């Protein structure tokens, strides 16, 4: 009967509607009324204080979100966000992704890896005036891009002159404003606790985006700093970082309808894009990318059985392609279900109708909108070629060669003038990427993947192809029938005459000068050199296109904001990797007629799903602990707030700003929300704090962490 | 938002628990209190009146249930119950299963087929004393069987002496009591209305046992009688039957939690069986039958592509096997989920503990229980052979030959002494079955099916095999390696030397005398003759076994009833094809942790499921009608009452006894309820009266039927 009692609680009709919106901290005052209405017990204004409670405790891991939960720098995030660190500390004898990990003492906490970071946002400054200072009306698009790019780099360089800080200048509302993020960059991150994989990734890919869900997707890191209290690279003498703030843990379990908010670092959304853009995504981008990823997946699948050495090297690629393919498929389903294109078109028609009532300003707005549409349409002309070139650029050895060559070119320039991604600040990441290749590359598969995209490129009309690539491949006048043989012959020599797959050789080139690289007889470096002018030409075109967007988009966004304001609607900027707050309530949904997702799952559901076979292989300890009376324990819950990729690991807070769980996924019907938020169907999936504590108490014990969290008195 | 409003309505916690029980009309007084508590507004005692309102309106179709809904003999039932009649009236040009059917005028109503029947139950008499009159203590089991069998046949013959009546003597509580059912047998049944298949079987096999469901599973028949008002075979001069009662249609739509009851003719349940029996079903019967049906399905699948002439002939067999296989699989899942065997064992342990407190009577009860267990165990010794022989007996040509031979033997006896199934009253059904073979037989497939079971039989230990069958197959001393070749050689001759696949020849043998059949040179008749002594031996053994059950089961059931009465529990007899009433409430359920089935589905869900491909190919007219504002119309609903196969087409009545829909299925998690009723998971699926009326008004119009139902004034 418990189930039906839970049912009854789920769905009280008095709840407010799902709360769309990823609000910037400074917008919280603007939405104070809906926040209060949804149940927030704190002062919305206090929430805006980046250094206050709870916002001061919330951090970014770069791609994931997290939160400080102790005065000693303990950080909680998702198990899937700590996956790399857990894998790194595994050995052939001890796979921590399977077994789990718990450091018995502080001294046992291993490094999460040289690339692991914790970013503490200390300030966000509006720097629009400085970024746009050199922009003049009537400027050419490329000049506009360079003016803005240069100003952004200057701002970053100034800010990062202070050691221990990472700074970014980020565009909001398509370049309508720019903000500088000042983040303390903690570089010594250590692994404290991860549950066994049968808990941390229970359900695996099968349950990805699914509900009902039963995943204990949590892990703990600790931030370390040098003896002087400042960020430092991993070193034995470092000591735990003492954050200014850490979250309080909620004592009271959540109930159906309760207020929840999530503060974190969502990556990208496209809610303010034009209907033409969603039409292109539906009609071309996603279908083509799904088809392409299916081809790449087939190549890797044919190269080796699951579990073989080759297959293991491509596990991250395969996971990424499968994830994206599933996501795009879900988005297309969602677009169709919600008639997303129709909705966008109707919204734009309403905007244009409103513009028609706005006199001269309205006419200017309409002209700008028309120009923006035309500008976007122009970029779509080469999208097929761009897709193939991106795939070529993503193959392992070519990517390494291209990076080495471009870095040698950029290093000839002063740092501030180097291309983004090749500045001194980027070099550690470049080095990590190049080194990582040793675990992710099989030359045979690499060649198959490159061959696939070269053939696709060669099949394009001549006007779209890169002459440099045609020349290098020796395609010349080759008809379709000869192309394949020509490409195969070239690939044969290409892979026979390179040593870039050797890590020492590859890393050795990192220090080389441009002249050395351009004189190299390594075939992949020669290919990168041969294509360099073409790729530079495309890069220049891209910058000009971006410049055009920076000319047209801010004006469009201003029009859009004015239009929405005329309807009394507040507008949040699209997600851009910066700190956002979203709020809503714990609630289920009806994913389709006659069916409901209930807002809570329970440990009993783990027993029901348990098959003994990965990914549904609960541990014996867990099964025993559940059967010993924990069947009713909440595992995961749904909320109607608004998150996206990058929010993984974000703290879920209750009405008093206390930690109640972590967001780790959204439901299948929600994936289209990146483009169009559907309040009836969009739900985030959270792991419950009580479940985390129970796992650490009963299943895979972590008494030291529990004591530090104040959950155990002894 | 409609969905969530519906959600909120679904699950008020104040509802009574699901109501297990298939009650006989005479038990309604006993359960008056729970009936009232669940919401019945009628006097429970009035419900017991078979000729009163509403019970007088409820009829059996033999295998399905139905109800009179007009004074002119209009009968409503499920589309799937009328499937044969719809098919029968189809032509190569006009497939009524696809197109639907509507008789414009009374004169256009075609026959539902010579085998179609409507049975109106007029009386149910307790005849236990008469049935058991000749039973003596200490009688041999076979003699006991014969005494009871003879008494039952006499009772039937007496009752059926009145023309137009069909009478059955049915065992209740395993032979503890016997009741005679007196049913008016209407033999002129005509087809009035069937919606297109895209409505009547929307979702097809895919949605079978599934929720959410969107099937318009309804159709209309009309009962006809001779000019004298008495049952008669189909004839032009017949006129509509005027039933004493017909159902009133509910004016008010159902809501979540509303009282509903279903009155109909459930076929078989096994709720009072022993734990040993459920153990055998779990451990042997269902797994073996699933395996066997999979083999048979593979044979038919290999014989021809779907849609081929061969495949079409086996559509009913394939549907039956697939249905049973899916059902058994679901039951096994359900048994595991509910630990059905453990529950039964615990229940029996409680019974035995109680018996131990009951003195001498308790000791007798225990001894009887032990004896019953041993008796059942003995029958299991030959279950493998029995399975193979049953499969051999079910193949087309052998079944025909066996029937023809046995009928010629039985006809030598006076009717009252013939074996059940071969009496004069059974001859029309035998003839229909033999004729039907012409549409259901492909000799090549028949041979494959027979070969499969002959090989399985031949692989049994010799002690289990039928010597007559071994001899006929010429297996003799053949080792396993030679058996297959010997059987194939025999089958070659068997199928080469028969003309039973010719319908005229086959039907010609119906009139033959025993001597003619036994002298026939038709190889299948020769096989039937050769096996006759063996099969008669088995039949004799079966009767002795049944006699043993009739000795042991009544005493066990009495003990069981006393035990339950000592706990204050009322007990209904297992379903046995007789009229039963079950009641409960409209309600959803949580089929698994975190998920809920909502109690209503809506027309919008048809649009969501529609793919344009069978079985999800809504008609254009329906799509248009839904889009024109009917999205919120209820299509199907769930209730927690207790039904099983045979209840298909049963009228669903509201608290005032008015028609609100028809039951047509139960959910996947409910199929194990035949053995063990799980109130949390057992739900019946109903088609809503409002949807039926809307289809007849808006989608596939039937103004004449609507007028007759009082749903249209013009």
User: A63-78 as b/e, with b when 16 or more CB fall inside 10 Å?
Assistant: ebbbbbbbebbbbbbb
Tell me the residues of chain B between 400 and 429 that have a Cβ less than 8 Å away from chain A: none
Q: What's the gap in Å between the CA of A29 and the closest CA on chain B?
A: 29
Of B60, B65, B70, B80, the catalytic one is: B80
Q: Could you read off the pLDDT of B332-350 as tens digits, one per residue? A: 999 998 899 999 999 999 9
> Which of the four pLDDT bands, split at 50, 70 and 90, describes residue B11?
very low
pLDDT computed for residue A474 by the predictor: 86
Alpha-carbon gap, residue A664 to A645, rounded angstroms: 9
Q: What's the gap in Å between the CA of B588 and the closest CA on chain A?
A: 9
Length of chain A (residues): 714
CA nearest to A589 within chain B = B4
Query: Among candidates A218, A222, A191, which has minimal Cα distance to A68?
Result: A222
ipTM: 0.84
Q: Do B596 and A593 touch (CB under 8 A)?
A: no
Record the pTM: 0.86
Close Cβ partners of A60 (under 8 Å, ≥ 6 residues apart) = A66, A118, A119, A121, A183, A264, A265, A577, A579
Question: Does residue B80 carry a catalytic annotation?
Answer: yes
> Which of the four pLDDT bands, split at 50, 70 and 90, describes residue B714?
low
CA nearest to A593 within chain B = B605
pLDDT computed for residue B162 by the predictor: 95
Contact call for residues B18 and B599 (beta carbons, < 8 A): no
pLDDT computed for residue B6 by the predictor: 27
Torsions phi, psi for A214 (to 5 deg) = -145, 50
CA nearest to A598 within chain B = B594
The minimal CB distance from A597 to the residues B589, B594, B604 is found for B594
CA nearest to A603 within chain B = B593
CA nearest to A211 within chain B = B594
Q: Do A590 and B680 touch (CB under 8 A)?
A: no
The minimal CB distance from B593 to the residues A13, A593, A605 is found for A605
Q: A336 touching B, CB under 8 A?
A: no
CA nearest to B587 within chain A = A4
Least confident residue range of A265-269, A659-663, B133-137, B310-314: B310-314
Q: B588 touching A, CB under 8 A?
A: yes
Q: Do B595 and A597 touch (CB under 8 A)?
A: yes
* List of long-range contacts for A505-510, beta carbons under 8 Å, 24+ apart: A506/A400, A506/A404, A506/A434, A506/A437, A507/A431, A507/A434, A507/A435, A509/A404, A510/A404, A510/A407, A510/A430, A510/A431, A510/A434
- Which residues in chain B are contacts of A3 at CB distance < 8 A? 589-590, 593, 680
- Which residues in chain B are contacts of A212 at CB distance < 8 A? 592-595
Q: Do A600 and B594 touch (CB under 8 A)?
A: yes
Alpha-carbon gap, residue A26 to A152, rounded angstroms: 22
Q: A682 touching B, CB under 8 A?
A: no
Q: Do A5 and B12 touch (CB under 8 A)?
A: no
Q: What's the gap in Å between the CA of B94 and the closest CA on chain A?
A: 33
Which alpha helices (H) appear in B417-474, and where do they start and end?
427-440, 443-458, 467-473
Mean pLDDT by 10 residues, chain A (714 residues): 28 47 92 92 90 95 96 97 91 91 97 94 96 95 97 96 96 97 97 97 92 98 97 97 97 96 96 96 96 95 88 86 91 91 96 97 97 97 94 95 97 93 93 89 96 94 92 81 90 96 95 96 97 95 97 97 93 96 96 96 96 94 96 97 95 97 94 90 96 97 96 73
The minimal CB distance from B4 to the residues A7, A13, A600 is found for A13
The minimal CB distance from B11 to the residues A11, A211, A589 is found for A11
Q: Could you read off the pLDDT of B569-607 as tens digits, one per residue? A: 989 999 999 999 999 999 999 999 999 999 999 999 999
Token pair recorded at residue A237: 């003498």
Q: What's the gap in Å between the CA of B214 and the closest CA on chain A?
A: 9
Chain mean position to CA A557:
24
Q: How many Cα atoms are found within 13 Å in the side-chain-facing hemisphere of B477?
A: 0
pLDDT computed for residue A714 by the predictor: 58
CA nearest to B8 within chain A = A11
- Chain A, chain B: beta-carbon pairs less than 8 Å apart: 109
Contact call for residues A67 and A659 (beta carbons, < 8 A): yes
- Which residues in chain A are contacts of B207 at CB distance < 8 A? none
Q: Is the peptide bond before A200 cis (omega within 30 degrees of 0)?
A: no
Q: Do A596 and B680 touch (CB under 8 A)?
A: no
Q: B339 touching A, CB under 8 A?
A: no
- Angle, alpha carbons A84-A88-A94 (nearest 5°): 120
Q: Residue B33: is its pLDDT beyond 70?
A: yes
- Which residues in chain A are contacts of B589 at CB distance < 8 A? 3-4
Q: A211 touching B, CB under 8 A?
A: yes
Contact call for residues B574 and B271 (beta carbons, < 8 A): yes
Q: B598 touching A, CB under 8 A?
A: yes
pLDDT computed for residue B10 by the predictor: 32
Torsions phi, psi for B119 (to 5 deg) = -105, 120
The minimal CB distance from B12 to the residues A1, A8, A636 is found for A8
Q: Do B13 and A3 touch (CB under 8 A)?
A: no
Q: Which of B7, B14, B688 to mutate to test the interface with A (most CBs of A within 10 A)?
A: B7
Alpha-carbon gap, residue A637 to B593, rounded angstroms: 12
Q: Residue B2: is its pLDDT beyond 60?
A: no
Catalytic residues of A: 80, 217, 648
User: A188-226 as b/e, with b when 16 or more CB fall inside 10 Å?
Assistant: bbbbbbbbbbbbbbbbeeebbbebbbbbbbbbbbbbbbb
Q: Could you read off the pLDDT of B91-126 as tens digits, one per residue? A: 888 999 999 999 999 999 999 998 899 999 999 999
Q: Do A680 and B594 touch (CB under 8 A)?
A: no
Count of C-beta atoms within a 10 Å radius of residue A661:
30
pLDDT computed for residue A308 by the predictor: 86
Chain mean position to CA B404:
26
pLDDT computed for residue B14 by the predictor: 34
Q: Could you read off the pLDDT of B643-685 as tens digits, one per residue? A: 999 999 999 999 999 999 999 999 998 989 999 998 989 999 9
């Amino acid at each position: 009967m418990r189930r039906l009692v839970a049912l009854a609680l789920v769905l009280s009709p008095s709840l407010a509607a799902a709360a769309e919106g990823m609000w910037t901290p400074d917008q919280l005052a603007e939405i104070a009324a809906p926040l209060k209405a949804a149940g927030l017990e704190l002062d919305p204004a206090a929430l805006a204080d980046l250094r206050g409670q709870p916002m001061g405790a919330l951090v970014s891991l770069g791609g994931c979100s997290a939160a400080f939960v102790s005065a000693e720098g303990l950080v909680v995030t998702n198990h899937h966000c700590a996956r790399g660190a857990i894998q790194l500390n595994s050995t052939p004898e001890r796979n921590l992704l399977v077994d789990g990990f718990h450091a018995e003492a502080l001294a046992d906490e291993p490094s999460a890896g040289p690339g692991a970071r914790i970013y503490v946002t200390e300030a966000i400054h509006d720097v629009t005036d400085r970024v746009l200072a050199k922009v003049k009306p009537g400027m050419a698009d490329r000049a506009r891009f360079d003016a803005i790019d240069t100003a952004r780099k200057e701002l970053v360089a100034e800010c990062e002159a202070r050691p221990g800080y990472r700074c970014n200048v980020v565009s909001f509302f398509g370049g309508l404003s720019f903000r500088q993020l000042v983040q303390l960059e903690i570089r010594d991150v250590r692994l404290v606790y991860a549950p066994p994989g049968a808990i941390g990734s229970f359900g695996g890919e099968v349950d990805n985006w699914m509900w009902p869900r039963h995943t204990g997707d949590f892990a703990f890191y600790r931030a370390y700093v040098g003896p002087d209290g400042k960020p430092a690279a991993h070193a034995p003498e470092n000591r735990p970082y003492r954050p200014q703030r850490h979250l309080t843990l909620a004592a009271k379990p959540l109930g159906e309808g309760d207020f929840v908010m999530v503060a974190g670092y969502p990556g990208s959304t496209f809610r303010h894009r034009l209907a033409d853009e969603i039409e292109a995504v539906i009609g071309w981008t996603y279908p083509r990318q799904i088809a392409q990823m299916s081809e790449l997946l087939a190549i890797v699948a044919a190269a080796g059985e699951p579990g073989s050495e080759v297959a293991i090297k491509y596990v991250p690629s395969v996971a990424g392609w499968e994830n994206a393919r599933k996501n795009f498929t879900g988005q297309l389903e969602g677009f169709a279900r919600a008639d997303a294109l129709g909705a966008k078109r109707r919204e734009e028609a309403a905007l244009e109708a409103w513009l028609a009532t706005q006199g001269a300003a309205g006419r200017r707005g309409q002209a700008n909108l028309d120009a923006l549409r035309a500008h976007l349409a122009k970029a779509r002309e080469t999208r097929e070629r761009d897709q193939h070139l991106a795939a070529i650029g993503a193959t392992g050895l070519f990517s390494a060669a291209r990076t080495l060559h471009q870095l040698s070119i950029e290093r000839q320039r002063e740092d501030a003038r180097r291309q983004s991604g090749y500045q001194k600040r980027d070099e550690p990441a470049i080095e990590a990427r190049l080194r990582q290749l040793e675990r992710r590359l099989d030359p045979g598969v690499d060649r198959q993947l490159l061959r696939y995209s070269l053939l696709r490129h060669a099949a394009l009309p001549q006007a779209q192809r890169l002459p440099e690539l045609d020349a290098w491949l020796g395609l010349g006048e080759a008809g379709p029938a000869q192309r394949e043989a020509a490409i195969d012959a070239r690939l044969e020599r290409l892979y026979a005459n390179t040593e870039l797959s050797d890590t020492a050789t590859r890393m050795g080139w990192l220090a080389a000068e441009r002249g050395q690289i351009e004189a190299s007889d390594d075939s992949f470096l020669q290919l990168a050199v041969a294509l360099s002018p073409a790729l530079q030409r495309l890069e220049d075109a891209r910058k000009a296109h971006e410049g055009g967007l920076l000319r047209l988009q801010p004006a469009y966004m201003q029009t859009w904001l004015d239009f929405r304001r005329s309807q009394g609607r507040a507008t949040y900027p699209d997600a851009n990797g910066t700190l956002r707050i979203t709020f809503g309530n714990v609630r289920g949904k009806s994913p389709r007629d006659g069916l409901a997702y209930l807002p809570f799952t329970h440990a009993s559901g783990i027993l029901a799903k348990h098959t003994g076979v990965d990914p549904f292989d609960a541990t014996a300890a867990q099964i025993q602990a559940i059967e010993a009376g924990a069947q009713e324990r909440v595992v995961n819950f749904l909320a109607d707030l608004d998150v996206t990729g990058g929010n993984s690991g974000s703290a879920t807070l209750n009405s008093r700003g206390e930690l109640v769980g972590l967001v780790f996924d959204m439901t299948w019907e929600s994936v289209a929300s990146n483009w169009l938020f559907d309040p009836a169907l969009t739900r985030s999936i959270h792991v419950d704090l009580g479940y985390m504590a129970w796992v650490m108490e009963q299943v895979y014990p972590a008494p030291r962490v529990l004591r530090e969290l104040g959950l155990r008195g002894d």
